[in-house]
């Protein structure tokens, strides 16, 4: 209704003013930089209207062109993203099938889509390493976000898998402050120290690992046996002392753990103190400790000082007659005494009750 009224008003004004403008067109003259333009007022109004109309048309055309360009860019962007997503799926499939070269190639193509970029780059790093492209693997790992711990972790893990444990230790030591937020970084550092044979540094790092809880309670119980026996036995060859700072700085609970006692017993046996070594083993070991302790226990040279330990094992056997680890310890003790016949009989029991232990733990 309002539009109709407006149109009617415009028509009335045109009827009233039209004859006036035609009979009195007016006169306008513009002089600019030596040029003059002469026209009637009506002509000027018509010219301005045409200019405004042309401007409006130009703006409309430019808007349509911008939209088309945006649409075309969006089309190509969507197409590129779809290709990257398809490459990600193919890369994951190739990774699962251990087709490392194909996985590396596809996962790199998948980086054209920014989603999950960190995860794609990490997987591409490992795939490249397993495909034998070590330089490319290091480049991809180095391109990870520096502020996070992923870059340091992946680079160090790649170094470890290439046998460069010392380099991995140096790299991880620079980022150890992040281990509280990312315990996997600390776990890898301990592994690197072990592989590098940096036993003193390993023991010096244990208090931080315990206080910052790099491991769960159960996993730390197992991890102790991977740390203390090897560390103490190796340090004993260089003059291990229980009064050393790296030992005294350990929490008392750690120094008194079965794993630490196993390491001390190993050190005593290496020094020829077999009876004292056996005494520590009898005092420290429990039946529950045997699975974790066995790989290290069988390396301790007790000689003929085995009587007390044998009695302890035989006592456990009364309540657990089918425990393969107990028979494995009996076999080890018989070998220490040089009784091959008893050792063979014990190993037969191990084979009967725990075949996998017999296969993996037979003496050389």
Q: What is the sign, positive or negative, of the torsion defined by CA atoms of 259, 260, 263, 264?
A: negative
User: What is the rounded CA–CA span in Å between residue 353 and residue 331?
Assistant: 14
Per-residue confidence at 364, pLDDT binned at 50, 70, 90?
very low
pLDDT at 7: 72
Per-residue confidence at 290, pLDDT binned at 50, 70, 90?
very high
Residues 231 and 259 in one domain: yes
Q: How large is the average pLDDT for residues 307-331? A: 93
Residue 233 lies inside a defined structural domain of this protein = yes
Average pLDDT of the chain, as a whole number: 87
Residue 242 lies inside a defined structural domain of this protein = yes
Per-residue confidence at 14, pLDDT binned at 50, 70, 90?
low
Which tokens belong to 143? 């391109």
Residues 282 and 225 in one domain: yes
- 67 or 334, greater pLDDT: 334
Evaluate if residue 293 carries a pLDDT over 50. yes
pLDDT at 237: 87
User: What is the rounded CA–CA span in Å between residue 57 and residue 54?
Assistant: 5
Closest CA to 328 of 304, 344, 339, 312: 344
Q: How many domains does the chain have?
A: 2
pLDDT at 42: 63
Domain boundary among 305, 336, 353: 305
Residue 204 lies inside a defined structural domain of this protein = no
Place of tokens 């017999």: 358
Helix (H, G, I), strand (E, B) or coil at 272: coil
Distances (CA, A) of 270 to 205, 283, 351: 25, 19, 30
Residue 90 lies inside a defined structural domain of this protein = no
User: What is the rounded CA–CA span in Å between residue 204 and residue 173?
Assistant: 13
Q: Mention every residue, 6+ apart, whose C-beta is less than 8 A from residue 355.
A: none
Residues 282 and 317 in one domain: no
CB count in 10 Å sphere of residue 64: 10
User: What is the rounded CA–CA span in Å between residue 336 and residue 229?
Assistant: 19
User: What is the rounded CA–CA span in Å between residue 209 and residue 211?
Assistant: 6
pLDDT at 41: 63
User: What is the rounded CA–CA span in Å between residue 357 and residue 43?
Assistant: 107
Residue 258 lies inside a defined structural domain of this protein = yes
Reported as a single tens digit per residue, the pLDDT across 19-60 is: 766 666 666 666 766 677 676 766 667 777 778 888 888 888
pLDDT at 57: 83
Residue ranges in the chain assigned as alpha helix (H): 2-23, 41-96, 100-109, 117-130, 134-142, 150-161, 165-173, 183-196, 199-211, 217-236, 245-248, 252-255, 258-270, 274-284, 290-297, 307-319, 324-337, 340-353, 355-361
Residue 202 lies inside a defined structural domain of this protein = no
User: What is the rounded CA–CA span in Å between residue 179 and residue 190?
Assistant: 11
DSSP 35: E
Evaluate if residue 72 carries a pLDDT over 60. no
DSSP 287: G
Q: What is the sign, positive or negative, of the torsion defined by CA atoms of 202, 208, 214, 219?
A: positive
Evaluate if residue 3 carries a pLDDT over 90. no
Residue 153 lies inside a defined structural domain of this protein = no
Closest CA to 333 of 314, 356, 355: 314
User: What is the rounded CA–CA span in Å between residue 246 and residue 250?
Assistant: 7
Contact by Cβ (8 Å): 254, 232: no
pLDDT at 360: 67
Residues 274 and 331 in one domain: no
Which tokens belong to 253? 């609970």
Reported as a single tens digit per residue, the pLDDT across 163-209 is: 999 999 999 999 999 999 999 999 999 999 999 999 999 999 999 99
For the chain, how long is the longest CA-to-CA vector?
138
Q: What percent of the chain has pLDDT over 90?
A: 63
Which tokens belong to 135? 């330089």
pLDDT at 144: 86
Residue 222 lies inside a defined structural domain of this protein = yes
pLDDT at 167: 95
98's torsion region: left (phi>0), alpha (psi -120 to 50) or beta? left
pLDDT at 305: 85
DSSP 28: E
Reported as a single tens digit per residue, the pLDDT across 109-156 is: 999 888 888 899 999 999 999 999 999 998 998 888 877 788 899 999
Q: Residue 311's domain spans which residues?
A: 306-364
Cα R_g (the chain), whole angstroms: 41
Reported as a single tens digit per residue, the pLDDT across 91-111 is: 999 999 999 999 999 999 999
Evaluate if residue 262 carries a pLDDT over 60. yes
Place of tokens 């009506």: 42
């Amino acid at each position: 209704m309002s539009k109709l009224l407006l149109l009617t008003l415009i028509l009335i004004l045109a009827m009233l003013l039209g004859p006036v403008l035609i009979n009195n067109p007016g006169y306008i003259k513009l002089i600019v930089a030596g040029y003059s333009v002469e026209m009637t007022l009506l002509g000027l109004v018509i010219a301005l209207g045409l200019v405004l109309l042309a401007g409006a048309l130009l703006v409309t055309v430019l808007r349509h062109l911008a939209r088309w360009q945006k649409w075309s860019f969006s089309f190509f962007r969507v197409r590129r993203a779809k290709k990257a997503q398809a490459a990600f799926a193919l890369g994951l499939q190739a990774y699962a099938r251990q087709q490392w070269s194909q996985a590396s190639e596809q996962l790199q193509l998948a980086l054209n889509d920014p989603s999950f970029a960190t995860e794609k780059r990490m997987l591409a790093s490992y795939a490249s390493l397993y495909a034998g492209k070590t330089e490319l693997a290091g480049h991809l790992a180095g391109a990870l976000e520096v502020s996070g711990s992923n870059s340091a972790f992946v680079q160090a893990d790649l170094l470890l898998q290439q046998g460069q444990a010392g380099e991995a230790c140096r790299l991880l030591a620079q980022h150890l402050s992040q281990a509280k937020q990312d315990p996997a970084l600390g776990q890898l550092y301990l592994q690197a120290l072990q592989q590098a044979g940096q036993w003193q540094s390993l023991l010096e790092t244990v208090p931080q690992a315990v206080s910052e809880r790099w491991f769960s309670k159960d996993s730390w119980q197992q991890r102790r046996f991977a740390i203390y026996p090897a560390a103490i036995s190796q340090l004993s060859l260089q003059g291990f002392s229980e009064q050393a700072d790296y030992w005294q700085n350990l929490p008392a609970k750690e120094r008194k753990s079965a794993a630490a006692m196993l390491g001390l017993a190993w050190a005593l046996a290496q020094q020829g103190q077999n009876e004292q070594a056996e005494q520590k083993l009898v005092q420290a070991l429990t039946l529950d400790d045997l699975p974790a302790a066995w790989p290290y226990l069988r390396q301790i040279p007790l000689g003929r000082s085995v009587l007390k330990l044998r009695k302890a094992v035989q006592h456990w056997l009364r309540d657990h007659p089918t425990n393969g680890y107990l028979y494995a310890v009996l076999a080890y003790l018989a070998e220490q005494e040089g009784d091959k016949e008893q050792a063979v009989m014990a190993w037969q029991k191990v084979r009967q009750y725990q075949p996998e232990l017999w296969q993996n733990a037979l003496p050389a």
